[in-house]
Structure 1
Amino acid sequence: MASTLESRQYRSRKQKPCDLCRKRRICCIREPGSHSCSLCRTRNIDCTYVSSPPVRLRTPKERMRRSHVGNTTPTSPATESPSMQGRARIEELHHTLQYVGLSGDQDPYLLQHSSRDAKRQDDVAWACQTVNNDPVMPAQFTIVPDQHLDARPTYYPKNNVEESVHPYKEALIKTYFNIVHPSFPILDPIRFNPNSSSLLLASMYALSHKFCSEAGQIDPWIFLDFLGRALPLEARNPKLDSIEAALLYSQRHTYIFRAPTMPGMIAETGSLIGMSHDIGLNVDPTNWRISETDKKRRIRLWWAVYMQDKWVALTLGRPSFLHDEQSNVPMVTISDFDHGESEVSYLSALASSRIMYSVSTGMFVAMAELSVLLSDILSTFYTVRGIRRLREAPRQGMECVIDSFTNRLEGWYNIYNTLLQGDKRLLPDPTGKLLHLMYSTNKEFLMIT
């Protein structure tokens, strides 16, 4: 039998295996002069040879060696500190930082005494990074290899976005900062990198495409299809730009008008909340050992996530995912938005950039404070148990609660009424009408109650 069959030689480059044998990773055996292998004949299917060999993933040692070879200014291991060596290994192995929760299986009080250097375990780097030394509430991140999180499975969608938008990329980005950004200023136009993650760029293209006449011939579903398939997978290893992409995707345009117009929004919001908790957005970063830019970025993103959760809960009549007891991030302020100058800044893309950017950031702060009030209204009047408590409460107590909320709402209005009137220098005003609608919504709820 062995003499009548021709087995493929090990690692033969002349005789490639068929697609089925390559997929199953078995030896492709076929008779001399036959085009079909024994497995395909047994299954009575066509024996095809279309697929190519998978890209060989180098071991961590090989990747490290290649990175040193290509480094024009190598650092001597003898002069590197242990933390620098550990950080180099972490970046090389593509890790994700995950926040260590107070009640998790990795005790943050115990990890305070752990080395922060990468530690080899079966050729996989592991590290713990402490960002503050608070004995009451320590803040630490474990640095997890992406392969442990199934970050890029074989079914990760192919990204055709950059190829499609290549001639219009700069126009789409400028349109985003000119039109979209003033209404939702979560990005930093001063430090924005046009080579950001493909996920973040796709979400920006999806929002700006509708307003960019130069890119009008591009099918918007190229962006939406990629984001709809990639974002649930990115939720396994979220980073700050993943949160930004998910927030922008949640603001996407409606192209199919039906009920509901954007199905699954509450599930998407839940995923966004989970991603935010994974990277510790709900914890105050003010005293962390990170850059001021990252501190501001985390505060902006947390309040954007907070607003998304509360207003989606109100609009869809669903419970909020966030509980105020589980966050201590300070209220976002104007100072959390960088108003500096840079030669490569996309701030210049804004129409009347200084005025527009100042007003849009003020709108964001006002909306965040209004969302805190909304959260209290929802937890008081629109929870399953809250309704029962209100029915059993005396009428006088009920009136006191409503008066308290009304006074808070009027106090908010007295502070931000100039924003509600709109700025005549801005044509059109991108956010004033929305803010007025949200204020009126809260006021109407209190009147109905």
Structure 2
Amino acid sequence: MSSNPMTMARSAPIAIASRKSRPEQLSSANGSMSSSTSNDSSLTNTRTRKDRPCDACRRRKSRCVINEGQPSCVLCQFHSQDCTFVQSPQPRKRKLNTEGKEESVAKRRSPGAEERRRRPTDSSISSNGVTGSLIEEMANIGGPTLLKRTLGLQNDRYSQYIGPTTDFEPSLIDLSPFDPQDESLLSRGTLRKVSDQDTFLMLPDYTTPGHAHQEEDVDAIENIVAPYGPALLDLYFRIIHPNFPILQKNVFLEKYNRSHREFSPPILAAVYILAMNWWDHSGELANQPKPDIRELERLARASLADAMYRPKLSTVQAGLLLSQRPEGDQWAPTAQLVAIGQELGLHLDCSNWKIPPWERGLRKRLAWALYMQDKWGSLVHGRPSHIFASNWAVLPPTAADFPDAEFDSSDGEESAEYEHGRLLFTQMIVLSQILAEVLDTFYTLQAMANVSQAGASGTHLVLQLAKPVQLKLKEWFAALPACLRMDAASAGLHEQKLCSTGFLHLAYFATEITLHRRIIRSLSPVPNQAPTLDPYILHICRSAAKTRLISAMDFVNRLTSSHLRSFWYFASKTNFALIGTFGSLLWATAPGREEADWYRRRLGEYRWTLGVSCKGSERLTEFAMGMLDTSTGLLKALPEKPTLSRPNSESDIAGSRQQRTLAEGYGYGIGGSGFSIGPPRNGGQNGDSGDNEDMLRSGLASPTSSVSSSGGGSMAGYEVQGYAVQNGY
């Protein structure tokens, strides 16, 4: 990045002490020394204060800081306890260095050396009253580190955003004396001011439930995957991270190279669990037995529940990664993650905060990943969203928010991969914002009530609301970078080269389908009752919906193993299912037997595609096939539909000029601005040209100029929304 975070001075966190020892334990331990300390307390205190920590700091293994002229250390002042130097030092366990040799006493006594092997370097003492030289000394423990001055990734403190209505009055916070590190020690914790408007309360980890087991849990996680931890990390950062960049790779690897104990247990477990989905893609791992993933998942769930009591950025990261598992997309954990994100201030604009530049970029990426999790979770679970525009101040991510130090710029292939991932992530954010507009406009309780209250005018209301959203979707697709289009993504791919572009296009079709499901539902608001809408509007709406279904099915038919074996976003398995659900809806609402039979055949072909073409990626398609079987099973109870006579000419269904004007005003019309349909290519799949002929004869397709393209599925020749199928569909 343009600025070097390693040059920033790191704050000295709040003092952390162990809980007070019981009086009888202190009495027993100190009894043999009482007489000598009473006679020589002054000399002893002066000598020991210079050479070693007080008894409380020793028990906690914390840095003991005594300001000049003060009778006790900062930690003991904070806890209002006696600062004593009477206990004998505990026997030290000899630490081995990376070469297996015992470290020297001098090295172990260097500032924070032992603590660094047990926890990250940005922990240990309160900054209140500490001199600048000591702050600088503490900031440089262990040499340069990317963790200096971090807000959301300290290992022994967590942060709580101080909102405008809490018992902290924002107007009074500025009266507190802040040191040069923008921290102020209070009785409840340490205030950390990151901007003129935003302040956090920093609190110690050790008081939270489960903290005592954290080291034990992270050791157990590492032991399960040992000795394959580094190989799994390589898989994660090679396959998952470029397309879902919610970690800071260089920070993560810096910590891992020192010790796995520097991680919160759930984030380490989540990275391993997700990477194990590509176990066979590593030459080092392919022939080795897989670790016990069930035990990893158990530890991840248990430790994540504990971590929520001391939330950090790693807590949100772990939750989001665990949600990407095939069975991990549950709604309740998403609600918890949103709450934790708000606790950490992820909903705020951090562009000018006094934190390392890399953390500002990480926070923005993590915030938008949380936004996407909420919106797509709302769609696939049918639940109200938890994030509202009125309380969302995060700016759109820019290229500067993505770490450019994570890859070798001289490696053109790696640079292109990370640039592809950046564009994929940012385009998914924009699409998620359009999805949010669809959900807010059509699927809130109030929005659905408004359409119901409109009665016979409900469809017109829906079409009016749909037009601007439809235009945004059209513009979004037209503006996709060339490297993200399916035809470009497929060009030159080989079996070993994975491409995650598929989940973005599938999400696009899911958004289109979600919009058109609402339009189709509005056509016949009363079950088992014929629509009262004008026949031309009815026909044109159903034709538009049909083209979306055709394109979505053809997209799935064109997916290759390079797409299917890559990283897929958590909503993808449901998005595959939504295509079948939409086809079932159109089948159920078809006015005649011929059209219903057409959808029946198409759904049969779609299930075959899911089952055969997606072989080897069952985790993606099994759910969709199960839902399709459920939907089509329910459709067997449909009453027999009438046989409709086919129109003699397009003019029979063209409607009056007033009707055509009304339809085109909504963005719909045959050959109009909303969508146009061209003829099929290659006569369809499996020689089934009769269906295409049926569409032409019934007015669902118009005999315009041919669209040329190679390969494809049964309905691959249609032009939808002004973009040609040959561009990827």
Residue 80 (1) aligns with residue 79 (2): no
Of structures 1 and 2, the one with the larger relative CO (CA 8 A, separation 6+) is 1
Alignment-derived partner of residue 105 in structure 1 = 167
Query: Are 2:255 and 1:187 equivalent residues in the alignment?
Result: no
For 1:208 and 1:60, how far apart are their aligned partners in 2?
39
Q: Structure 2 CA distance, aligned partners of 1:84 and 1:165?
A: 38
Aligned to 1:284: 349
The DSSP-based 3-state class of the residue aligned with 1:71 is: coil
Letter matched to residue 434 of structure 1: F
Counterpart CA distance in 1 for 2:311 and 2:401 is 22
Which residue identity is paired with 1:188?
A: Q
Change (3 A) 1:220 1:61: closer
What's 1:130 paired with? 193
| Equivalent of residue 355 in structure 1, options 404, 407, 416 | 416
Change (3 A) 1:179 1:112: same
Q: 2:452 aligns with which of 364, 384, 391?
A: 391
Amino acid at match of 1:248: L
Q: Structure 2 residue aligned with 1:119, among 174, 179, 185?
A: 185
- Alignment check: 8 A CA contact 2:224 2:292 kept: no
Shift of 1:329: 0.3
Shift of 1:414: 1.1
Aligned to 2:229, which of 169, 173, 186?
A: 169
1:307 CA drift (Å): 0.5
Unaligned runs of 5+ in 1: 1-9, 12-55, 255-260
**What are the residue-to-residue correspondences of 1:424-435 with 2, within 5 Å?**
424-425=491-492, 427=494, 428-435=497-504
Pairing partner for 2:510 from 412, 416, 441: 441
Alpha-carbon shift at residue 429 of structure 1 (Å): 4.6
Supply the distance in 2 between the matched residues of 1:105 and 1:68 (Cα, whole angstroms): 43
CA distance in 2, matches of 1:403, 1:381: 12
Quote the Cα distance in structure 1 between the aligned partners of 2:155 and 2:217. 22
Task: Name the SS of the counterpart of 2:351 in structure 1.
Answer: coil
Supply the distance in 2 between the matched residues of 1:166 and 1:68 (Cα, whole angstroms): 27
Residues 65-111 of structure 1, C-alpha deviations (whole Å, 9 max, x = no match):
399954289x9x884279879999x9999321111112222222321
The answer for the alignment partner of 1:65 in structure 2 is 64
Deviations 1:211-258 (A, max 9, x none): 224154311113211111111111111111221111111112x4xxxx
> What is the DSSP-based 3-state SS (H/G/I as helix, E as strand, rest coil) of the residue aligned with 1:96?
strand
Aligned to 1:242: 315
What is the alpha-carbon distance in structure 2 between the residues aligned to residue 113 and residue 169 of structure 1?
49
Match of 1:210 in 2: 277
Q: 2:302 aligns with which of 216, 229, 234?
A: 229
Counterparts of 1:93 and 1:371, CA distance in 2:
33
Counterparts in 2 of 1:351 and 1:157: CA distance versus 1, 3 Å: farther
**What secondary structure is seen at the aligned counterpart in 2 of 1:142?**
strand
Q: Give the alignment partner of residue 362 of structure 2, picking from 297, 301, 309.
A: 297
Alignment partner, residue 333 of structure 2: 268
CA contact (8 A) 1:115 1:128 kept: no
Which digits, 9 at most, give the CA deviation of each residue in 1:14-53, with x for residues without a partner? xxxxxxxxxxxxxxxxxxxxxxxxxxxxxxxxxxxxxxxx
Instruction: Kindly provide the amino acid, as one letter, of the partner of residue 441 in structure 2.
Output: T
Q: CA deviation at 1:57?
A: 8.3
1:94-133 deviation line (CA, Å, top 9, x unaligned): 3211111122222223212222345364xxx721111111
Equivalent pairs counted in the alignment come to 375
2:433 to 359, 372, 391: 372
Distance 2:441 2:289 in 1: 46
Separation in 1 of the partners of 2:448 and 2:303?
Answer: 39
Amino acid at match of 1:184: F
Asked whether the equivalents of residues 195 and 352 of structure 2 are also in contact (C-alpha less than 8 Å), the reply is yes
- Write out per-residue CA displacement over residues 239-282 of structure 1, whole angstroms, 9 at most, x where no aligned residue: 11221111111112x4xxxxxx448x111101111110111000
Distance 1:305 1:341, change over 3 A: closer
Report the AA paired with residue 218 of structure 1: P
Q: 1:337-352 alignment to 2 at 5 Å?
A: 337-340=402-405, 352=413
Code of the residue aligned with 1:144 in structure 2: it is: L
Residues 148-168 of structure 1: per-residue CA shift (max 9 Å, x gap) = 443526699734111122311
Quote the Cα distance in structure 2 between the aligned partners of 1:162 and 1:301.
25
Identify the residue that residue 412 of structure 1 maps to in structure 2.
476
**Structure 1 pair 151/141, CA: closer, same or farther in 2 (3 Å)?**
farther
Q: Matches of 1:72 and 1:402 in 2, distance apart?
A: 61
Q: In structure 1, what is the Cα distance between the partners aligned to 2:224 and 2:453?
A: 60
Highest Rg: 1 or 2? 2
Following superposition, the deviation at residue 59 of structure 1 comes to 6.7
Name whichever of 95-104 and 416-425 sits farther off. Answer: 416-425
Give, as a single letter, the amino acid of the residue that structure 2 aligns with 1:388.
A
2: CA distance, partners of 1:359 / 1:251: 20
Q: 1:85–1:57: structure 2 CA closer, same or farther, 3 Å change rule? A: same
- The residue type equivalent to 1:130 in the other structure is K
Q: Which residue of 1 aligns with 2:627?
A: none
Q: Is the partner of 1:221 in helix, strand or coil?
A: helix
- Other-structure match for 2:567: none
Counterpart of 2:442 (choices 366, 372, 381) is 381
Q: Relative to 1, partners in 2 of residues 1:329 and 1:60: Cα closer, same or farther, differing over 3 Å? A: farther
Paired position in structure 2 for 1:220: 293
Residues 185 and 191 in structure 2, CA contact (< 8 A), matched pair in contact too:
no
1:390 & 1:108 partners in 2: Cα distance? 43
The SS at the match of 1:447 is helix
Aligned counterpart in structure 1 of residue 266 of structure 2, from 183, 190, 199: 199
Deviations 1:345-367 (A, max 9, x none): 8x99x993222211111110000
1:312–1:156: structure 2 CA closer, same or farther, 3 Å change rule? farther
Q: Is the 8 A contact 1:86 1:118 kept in 2?
A: no
**CA–CA separation in structure 2 for the residues paired with 1:82 and 1:284:** 32
The Cα shift of 1:62 comes to 6.2
Aligned partners of 1:386, 1:182: CA distance in 2, in Å? Answer: 38
Contact kept? 2:214, 2:303, Cα under 8 Å: no
Provide the C-alpha distance between the structure 1 equivalents of 2:509 and 2:134, rounded to a whole number of angstroms: 57
The one-letter code of the counterpart of 1:208 is A
Give the letter aligned to residue 275 of structure 1: I
Greater mean deviation of Cα atoms: 212-221 or 160-169: 212-221
CA distance in 2, matches of 1:404, 1:207: 38
